[in-house]
A and B are shown apart, each in its own frame.
Chain A
């Protein structure tokens, strides 16, 4: 197995395991509580408005917005970590189809692995901090994935392999 292929396959399986462990933890300890919180705060907001209590209604809706913001990102993180991990594995298995020399191939593999790990991490960090740093981590991670994928498409297009 070449270095870049090994990096993608082993890194991909490790990332899939990480994503699955996160999903398992989330399903057992966080998801039900998050859904309850979203439903309860939304219902409380409408119930307060029925009693013409605008202050309580607005507070409940803010609570809903925060709970929904966190829930959406936590689910996205689970899905993206595992989805990207599968992409790393399958791309790693077929990496020798790319018509590129060893070094660019290794750089593409490294870019994909780092991007696949940091992009969902940046999304997860947004649940802790609404500041620009978390968003920047997610943007840099996704840019690494896009550039590396475009590089892989280019490497494949250069390939002149015949049957």
Chain B
């Protein structure tokens, strides 16, 4: 029985060349998916370092200015300050949405790549679906990013601008291509065709096992933290949010500056507490999922076994560091924030290394074909 080159350094056999051919659905989805995750993460890191904290400070300052305008009895200034706060919040919200959607579409692309052998369509149809998916996955985050800058300019609708329309079209493209994949999977199930087991799923190499087990544990820890937060803090935080805003307005109505200022300080602290808990929960699960998905692609990472283990360990280390130090940010401030960003950087570097490894693998697959074509070309 021939040993698959996925598990050795031998030349790839025809089935692998076929399933991972240039511009095949699987190759498009893997390279496009990891590319989307990388861009989404780098965007998130830039956003976290250069925009997030500054934006949060502006929102806090805007709210404080509005509260002090209310204290001074100036309602027109209150409205103006809230308009500014709305702008800052929209800026922040669209950046977060861009980051999250880009990464999540990347994950979905990788999962659809793994499922390709079970999708009962022709390779041409699968390739077309992969392109539609990737176009939608690029269009939605780009549209969401532009919402803050384009606004309602030239829009035919009352509350939805062109950027939102583009984002919605992107979402629709992703939706349609995913529906089609589901149809293909159901068709395959009806045909009961189990003739071609996928070598990717049979891999039990050390980095693959490290990533799958580590990822599953990270997901479980993320869920435990989320459940703990929901049970003990979520409702209390919601009640505090309302109570502090009420304290601000009643203090302003009573012209009591001390009450307003203490409510403002408490409100800032509360927002920080909420933000770190949600970020730790979300990042732990997202990184866990990423590790689990990447476990399946280890046979495609054309690097030496020791380097594959190092990159897998680095990805898991970064995936633990980021959520842990995000949680510690309120207590240890910038030091913890810096370590959290370092964790994010480790994940990005490890992911980039794996992506380069996969590119090397595609080079190995394509090179013999090019050589043959050269040899056969007329002189």
Interface residues in chain A, defined as those with a beta carbon under 8 Å from any beta carbon in chain B = 1, 6, 9-10, 13-14, 16-17, 20-21, 23-24, 27-28, 32-33, 35-36, 39, 42-43, 45-54, 57-58, 61, 64-65, 68-69, 72, 79, 82-83, 86-87, 89-91, 93-94, 96-97, 142, 145-146, 149-150, 152-153, 156-157, 161-163
Contact = CB atoms under 8 A, between A and B. Distances in A.
Contacts of A17: 175, 178-179, 182
Contact of B114 (A93, A153, A163): A93
Contacts of B171: 20, 23-24, 27
Contact of A52 (B204, B223, B253): B253
Given A17-B175, A24-B171, A50-B69, A86 B78 contact: no
B107 interface: yes
B129 interface: no
27 contacts: A1-B118, A9-B115, A13-B185, A14-B182, A32-B160, A36-B159, A39-B85, A45-B245, A46-B69, A46-B70, A46-B82, A49-B252, A58-B250, A61-B245, A82-B104, A83-B104, A83-B285, A83-B286, A86-B108, A89-B111, A90-B111, A93-B201, A94-B292, A94-B295, A142-B223, A153-B220, A161-B204
Contacts of B224: 146
A94 B194 contact: no
B181 interface: yes
Nearest to B249: A49
A51 B285 contact: no
A90 B185 contact: no
A21 B171 CA distance: 9
B31 interface: no
Nearest to B205: A163
Question: From DSSP, what is the main secondary structure of chain B's interface residues?
Answer: helix
Interface in B241-281: 241-242, 245-246, 248-250, 252-253
A49 B100 CA distance: 37
Interface of B: 7, 66-67, 69-75, 78-79, 82-83, 85-86, 90, 100, 104, 107-108, 111, 114-115, 118, 159-160, 164, 167-168, 171-172, 174-175, 178-179, 181-182, 185-186, 189, 194, 201, 204-206, 209, 212-213, 216-217, 219-220, 223-224, 226-227, 230, 238, 241-242, 245-246, 248-250, 252-253, 282, 285-286, 289, 292-293, 295-296
